[in-house]
């Protein structure tokens, strides 16, 4: 009972965060100081439009996830405290107004999610995978924190203040070395949390291991706080940064998007597939951020605002549809007892509500009109297409690459989610768990339905949302009042005057009218209403079994062939034949594993070097207390001499 109340409390916190965040977006300001609470500047919180936006994203993610958890955890109190800490610290990160507050919130967010990953939620003891994932996660999170603190302390040293507001004032006069140093460290720290390639390695390991409502928050919300940091640092703390950095960000975004979706495509584990797709979506958001940096460096304020708006819209969209997908996947995994899509199938008949939410999420994430993913990707396309306003050929080339990469990502995402939805939900069940699956309890359905409704609202209401987002974007770009984006009338959004326009409500109505027209056409032409239920056609074989279905591995095979330089697959066929004759085959085992280029080529050598280095250090560790005292004395002497 206490556990249920705890999750209800988290939902209330989320609702408050949403309301406060929306107030912040609309221009409310508020601040809070408690200098005595912690040393080094004290606790300090404040809200501005950008903080308000990310606070609202946190709230919008937390409410459905917490409602879902009421039934998902079924009164199990394990991990509740860590969950509450995670929720509160995620809400505090965008509000933090000085280094100490920020570092405390950031670290407690990492630690709380680490515990939730290791805890896993399944079984009495943490699984081996979860512990390994937690280890990689803790390592990357702390390397990221170290980089962030290095960057922040560089700025503190250069400006003599730990308050973010002072940095903003001092930014234009910042020495170029301090700016460069801070930029490198902050970019590395924040992109690690956002899960950008090549700092993403922890993400597909850690996100799937956590309970599904936590996965939804980690993927939908926590990665976005990395994006928040990139925006804060890139637009406020460091002043106007050169266009080259924007180009770099855009390229990193494109690589993350394409690599993320390509690894998602060959994944058989449903939750890992969703985690890889998070890397892709953060990549799409960062493409927008990079474009904004370039436009701003070229003094094209309205276009920079447009790019930030596209990035922010995709941020909240991804929180909505990825949340719905993770919660839906969690319900399916809960019901079938497996995360392997090759053992799922037929869920749509056994869990109709869950299936509908997953299908809607798949449509939205594939950016199909008229859903919300389409709106933000369309905006981003229109932004990138206007790059010719910058008269620098090398940057135009980067933008062209961005356009092509974004389009490829769009197509591959469609393929990926046809696979995820089709193989999970449709056809006959391919495993016992899937065959006896039951619909999720009511609170879980309510959580998924809330996020699906959010997707639909964001799809049909861009005219209401976009002006507010433009306000947020203007507050960080500091452009003059004119913007490239405007709502004309209640339905249509215009980009850069007559460059492009969109009305999702009209599209939705047109599609509905189209379906109605199709029904009318059929009846006018006298189509036969007769329908016979029969077996699937199968070349004359007698009985259809699930073994005849296409599997996840088979579905992604064309992609594996086309992009084999990235997957470097290791197909292996083991045939166990009878000793008397090789024609009497007893078993055939087929394996087709893909490898990660980045794990092997980047982290492999680093891990090997670390092992050698730590092996050397181990010689210092004799276990003798006398020797350790000698070390301390020696260190003290050296420090005294240096001082």
Residues 331-390 touching another protein, rule: CB under 8 A, are 345, 348-349, 359, 363, 366-369, 374, 378, 381-382, 385, 388
Task: Name residues contacting another protein, limited to 397-416 (CB under 8 A).
Answer: 400, 403-408, 410-412, 414-415
558 belongs to the binding site for another protein (CB under 8 A): yes
Sign of CA dihedral 87, 257, 400, 502: negative
In angstroms, what is the minimal distance from the CB of 543 to another protein? 12
In this chain, which of 30, 184, 240, 492 binds another protein, going by CB under 8 A? 492
In angstroms, what is the minimal distance from the CB of 370 to another protein? 9
Of the candidates 429, 426, 423, 414, the residue with the CA atom closest to the CA atom of residue 373: 414
Of the candidates 101, 114, 232, 237, the residue with the CA atom closest to the CA atom of residue 181: 237
Written as six digits, the tokens of 119 are 């805890």
592 belongs to the binding site for another protein (CB under 8 A): no
Is 28 buried (19+), middle (13-18) or exposed (0-12) by CB count in 10 A? middle
Query: 31 vs 523, which CB is nearer to another protein?
Result: 523
Q: What backbone phi and psi angles, to 5 degrees, belong to 460?
A: -90, -15
Query: 432 vs 600, which CB is nearer to another protein?
Result: 432
253 belongs to the binding site for another protein (CB under 8 A): no
Compute the chain's Rg from CA coordinates.
26
Query: 61 vs 462, which CB is nearer to another protein?
Result: 462
Nearby residues of 540 by Cβ (< 8 Å), 6 or more positions away: none
501 belongs to the binding site for another protein (CB under 8 A): yes
Q: Go through the chain and tell me how many residues it has.
A: 643
* Contact criterion met (CB below 8 Å) for 409 and 283: yes
In this chain, which of 481, 534, 581, 624 binds another protein, going by CB under 8 A? 534
Nearby residues of 324 by Cβ (< 8 Å), 6 or more positions away: 357, 358, 360, 361, 364, 448, 451, 452, 455
527 belongs to the binding site for another protein (CB under 8 A): yes
In angstroms, what is the minimal distance from the CB of 395 to another protein? 12
Query: 161 vs 557, which CB is nearer to another protein?
Result: 557
In this chain, which of 292, 327, 423, 437 binds another protein, going by CB under 8 A? 423
In angstroms, what CA-CA distances link 146 with 103, 149, 192, 455, 609? Answer: 10, 5, 11, 36, 20
In this chain, which of 2, 128, 438, 537 binds another protein, going by CB under 8 A? 537
Of the candidates 449, 367, 448, the residue with the CA atom closest to the CA atom of residue 410: 367
In angstroms, what is the minimal distance from the CB of 592 to another protein? 15
In this chain, which of 185, 228, 353, 555 binds another protein, going by CB under 8 A? 555
Q: Pick the stretch among 12-20, 86-94, 468-476, 542-550 that binds another protein (CB under 8 A).
A: 542-550
528 belongs to the binding site for another protein (CB under 8 A): yes
Query: 212 vs 387, which CB is nearer to another protein?
Result: 387
Query: 197 vs 423, which CB is nearer to another protein?
Result: 423
In angstroms, what is the minimal distance from the CB of 439 to another protein? 15
Token pair 């910058």 is found at: 390
Nearby residues of 453 by Cβ (< 8 Å), 6 or more positions away: none
Written as six digits, the tokens of 114 are 């680490």
């Amino acid at each position: 009972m206490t556990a249920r109340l705890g999750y209800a409390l988290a939902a209330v916190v989320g609702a408050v965060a949403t309301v406060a965040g929306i107030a912040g977006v609309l221009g409310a300001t508020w601040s809070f100081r408690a200098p005595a609470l912690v040393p080094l500047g004290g606790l300090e919180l404040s809200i501005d439009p950008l903080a308000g936006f990310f606070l609202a994203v946190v709230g919008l993610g937390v409410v459905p996830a917490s409602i879902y958890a009421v039934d998902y955890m079924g009164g199990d109190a394990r991990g509740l405290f860590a969950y509450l800490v995670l929720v509160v610290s995620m809400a505090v990160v965008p509000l933090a107004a000085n280094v100490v507050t920020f570092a405390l919130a950031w670290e407690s967010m990492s630690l709380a999610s680490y515990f939730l990953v290791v805890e896993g939620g399944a079984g009495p003891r943490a699984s081996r995978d979860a512990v390994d994932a937690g280890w990689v996660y803790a390592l990357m999170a702390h390397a990221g924190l170290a980089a962030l603190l290095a960057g922040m302390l560089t700025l503190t040293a250069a400006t003599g203040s730990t308050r973010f507001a002072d940095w903003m004032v001092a930014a234009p006069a910042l020495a170029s070395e301090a700016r460069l140093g801070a930029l490198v460290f902050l970019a590395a720290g924040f992109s690690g949390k956002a899960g950008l390639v090549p700092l993403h390695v922890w993400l597909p390991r850690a996100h799937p291991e956590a309970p599904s409502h936590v996965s939804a928050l980690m993927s939908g919300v926590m990665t976005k706080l990395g994006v928040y940091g990139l925006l804060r640092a890139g637009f406020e703390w460091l002043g106007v940064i050169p266009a080259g950095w924007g180009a770099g960000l855009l390229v990193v975004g494109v690589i993350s998007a394409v690599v993320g979706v390509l690894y998602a495509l060959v994944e058989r584990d449903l939750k890992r597939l969703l985690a890889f797709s998070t890397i892709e979506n953060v990549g799409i958001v960062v493409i927008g951020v990079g474009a904004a940096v370039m436009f701003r460096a070229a003094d094209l304020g309205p276009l920079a605002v447009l790019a930030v708006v596209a990035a922010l819209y995709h941020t909240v969209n991804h929180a909505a549809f990825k949340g719905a997908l993770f919660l839906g996947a969690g319900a399916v995994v809960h019901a079938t007892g497996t995360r392997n899509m090759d053992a799922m199938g037929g869920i749509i008949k056994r869990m109709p509500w869950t299936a509908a939410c997953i299908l809607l999420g798949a449509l939205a994430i594939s950016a199909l009109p008229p859903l919300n993913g389409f709106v933000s990707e369309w905006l981003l396309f229109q932004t990138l297409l206007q790059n010719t306003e910058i008269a620098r050929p090398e940057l135009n080339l980067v933008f062209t690459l961005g356009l092509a990469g974004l389009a490829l990502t769009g197509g591959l995402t469609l393929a990926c989610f046809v696979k995820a939805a089709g193989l999970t939900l449709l056809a006959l069940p391919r495993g016992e768990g899937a065959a006896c699956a039951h619909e999720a309890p009511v609170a879980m359905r309510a959580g998924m339905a809330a996020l699906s409704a959010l997707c639909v609202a964001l799809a049909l209401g861009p005219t209401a949302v976009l002006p507010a987002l433009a306000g947020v974007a203007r507050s960080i770009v500091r452009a003059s009042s004119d913007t490239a984006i405007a709502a004309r009338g209640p339905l249509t959004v215009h980009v850069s005057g007559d460059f492009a326009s969109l009305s999702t409500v009209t599209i939705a109505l047109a599609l509905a009218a189209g379906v109605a027209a199709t029904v009318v056409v059929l009846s006018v032409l006298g189509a036969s209403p007769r329908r016979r239920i029969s077996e699937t056609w199968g070349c004359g074989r007698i009985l259809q079994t699930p073994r005849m279905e296409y599997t996840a591995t088979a579905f992604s095979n064309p992609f594996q062939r086309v992009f084999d330089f990235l997957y470097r697959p290791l197909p292996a066929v083991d045939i166990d034949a009878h000793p008397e004759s090789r024609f009497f085959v007893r078993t055939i085992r087929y394996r087709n594993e893909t490898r990660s280029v980045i794990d092997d080529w980047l982290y492999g050598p680093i891990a090997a070097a670390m092992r050698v280095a730590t092996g050397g250090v181990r010689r210092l560790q004799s276990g003798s207390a006398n020797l350790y005292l000698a070390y301390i004395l020696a260190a003290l002497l050296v420090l005294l001499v240096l001082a």
